[in-house]
Amino acid sequence: MCGICCSVSFSIEHFNKDLKEDLLCNLKRRGPDSSKQLLKSNVNYQCLFSGHVLHLRGVLTAQPMEDERGNVFLWNGEVFSGIKVEAEENDTQIMFNYLSSCKNESDILSLFSKVQGPWSFIYYQASSHHLWFGRDFFGRRSLLWHFSNLGKSFCLSSVGTQTSEVANQWQEVPASGIFRIDLKSTSISKSVVLKLYPWNYISKEDVTKECINSLTQISAVVPTFVSVVVNETKLYLKDPIVSLNMMLPQTPFDIHHNNISSIPPTKETLQVFLTDGHVKEVVQQLIDVLSIAVKRRVLCLPGDEYLTPSEVLKTCDRKANVAILFSGGIDSMVIATLADRHIPLDEPIDLLNVAFMTKEKTIPTSLNKKRRKQKNCEISSEELSQNAAAASAAVNLDKQFSVPDRITGRAGLKELQAANPSRIWNFVEINVSLEELQKLRRTRICHLVQPLDTVLDDSIGCAVWFASRGIGWLVTQGEAKSYQSSAKVILTGIGADEQLAGYSRHRVRFQTHGLEGLNKEIEMELGRISSRNLGRDDRVIGDHGKEARFPFLDENVVSFLNSLPVWEKASLTLPRGIGEKLILRLAAVELGLTASALLPKRAMQFGSRIAKMEKNHEKASDKCGRLQVISLENLSIEKEIKT
């Protein structure tokens, strides 16, 4: 994880030797281990490169990097596959070595087509005056652009700023491909032209259509003085995933599970599916590919350099290198179970569980009643009272944080402890009051969520920011102690719902348009995930000097799921708690999970109860006034906090 930035000026009066203080501060928070700036001046333009490194792999490598020919490279990414990077090597150095040896455009595109893993980058070619930049296929790393002064300057950055004079001018660089700008030509013509090298979508026949769609969408949001055109050489990046299997049954679709559709969700119901040899084989294939994805994301991390040899022997002195955004739901439980396979046994795993304060009268007793009806999915009242008693003895306001995700999170913790009692599972109870939410949204989070601006972005952005900060309580045996997670890597389950029909809108689409409609909904969900979720989440988590990693969006995982017909991934004629994400529930059963395999989907904003804290009658798609331009008074408050 890094904070990368390049500020380009085409006129002498706009030349600047440093970034604005607020932007520099936001970048440094992302990369606390190394900060460096580099100025490249030409008679026609000036480029100020700024790199801020979060050290996770190999030797600490400061950015920006420059070679003997004056080429400059900024990299915010992880190479998990496609290009060989040894455990002791740094992928920034490896990528720059490859780039420096590229002889032409085709070589550069071939390089980025091979990389598997999240990335955003900025690359300056001194000899040609070209500036290349872009994000990976899914947009797992944030990159924003900001054009100003009628084309006299522009800026690329991992994160932006929000002040009254530049509000809403930062936009996310589309994850449509790689962009290139000829700096010399731009400075002479005074016309900003961006060349796009798009991903090769679906098939060669559809490339032109997809390019036109991409160009239309990009041109609609950039200033009128910026032109976006497809590169004249017609070169493309190769898709890192296989296309979605849109196959439909040859005979009229007749769910062969109708005879059990009226049975409540139980583990036994799921086990019926696993008696089918083909189903069992497909489920095992998912477990295998997802396990490898998790393994790649939890190994090769900085170890216990800060401990003496004698301290390393004491398990209680070990600190977690990996944390999981943890609700106790199916996605986070599967990730935790697979992480347990690969993380050294004497290393703790932090489970980050966030809850927002509720009024005592809104404690979800109805949820408990509902769960009593789900026999094998039931969390017994005895267990709930024991959990509440233990936590209340240590935290006076425990009842005000007994939100649904806290209840399922504690139940999930018990499952994990039963599966591996030798592991230290740090269940971090992160409690957020309304006052703290409003203060930190105003001073920090609103900067990070922007340029996204809906009520949904506000709810999820705030919930993820507080969760990934990792400041909370460890409650054990009726005692609580304050705790702050030091894990630099945070695993999240995003991508599972999008691919496996986990949202209620998937069920609605299936009911109205059948399997064909469901296929199109899944295709749309995956296609928009870069602009809807991932850039925002990367900015929010990165603000703590931590790196988000997404196992469900590993290229091999996505390709495997894309290869399956939709009815092998979900069966939406079955009730909630079984039908959505069916294949993942079956994988959970195979991994030995119990109640968590049957939990219905619950969105983070509702499970954490952040959606109930302020205006309850807003729509998720409404623009959120709480994220809008902050006042000068708030700006002064923010500066005081920074100092």
The catalytic residues are 2
Beta sheet of 425-432, edge-to-edge order: 479-484, 471-476, 425-432, 349-356, 322-325, 489-491, 547-549
Return the percent helix, strand and coil in the chain, to nearest 5. Answer: 45, 20, 35
Neighbours of 302 (CB within 10 A): 15
CB 548 within 8 A of CB 535: no
Convert 443-470 to b/e letters by CB count within 10 Å (16 or more is b): bbbbbbbbbbbbbbbbbbbbbbbbbbbb
Kindly state the DSSP code that residue 456 receives in the 8-state scheme.
H
Signed CA dihedral, 62, 139, 220, 625: sign only: negative
- Write out the two tokens for 8: 């380009």
Distance CA 85, CA 94 (A): 7
Residue 263 neighbours by CB under 8 Å, 6+ apart: 269
Task: Assign 3-class secondary structure to 111-154.
Answer: HHHHCECCEEEEEEECCCCEEEEEECCCCCCCCEEEEEHHHCEE
Which two structure tokens, joined as six digits, stand for 437? 């939410």
Interatomic CA distance for residues 489 and 57, integer angstroms: 12
**Cβ distance 540 to 449 under 8 Å?**
yes
Q: Is the peptide bond before 451 cis (omega within 30 degrees of 0)?
A: yes
CB-CB contact of 200 with 238 (8 Å): yes
Instruction: Please enumerate in sequence order all residues whose Cβ is within 8 A of that of 537, keeping only pairs 6 or more positions apart, or say none.
Output: 460, 461, 464, 492, 494, 548
Contact 589, 599 (CB under 8 A): no
Q: How many residues does the chain have?
A: 643
* 8 A C-beta contact, residue 179 and residue 134: yes
Indicate the residue type of 143: L
Q: Which residues pair with 480 in a beta bridge?
A: 475
Q: Are 547 and 488 in contact (CB under 8 A)?
A: yes
- The answer to whether 622 and 455 have CB atoms below 8 angstroms apart is yes
Q: Which amino acid is at 551?
A: P
Which helix (H) or strand (E) element contains residue 238? strand 237-238
Cα angle at 559 between 214 and 297, to 5 degrees?
100
Alpha helices in 343-430 (DSSP H): 365-372, 381-394, 404-419
The tokens for 77 are 């990414």
- 80 φ, ψ (degrees, to nearest 5): -95, -20
3-state SS class at 250: coil
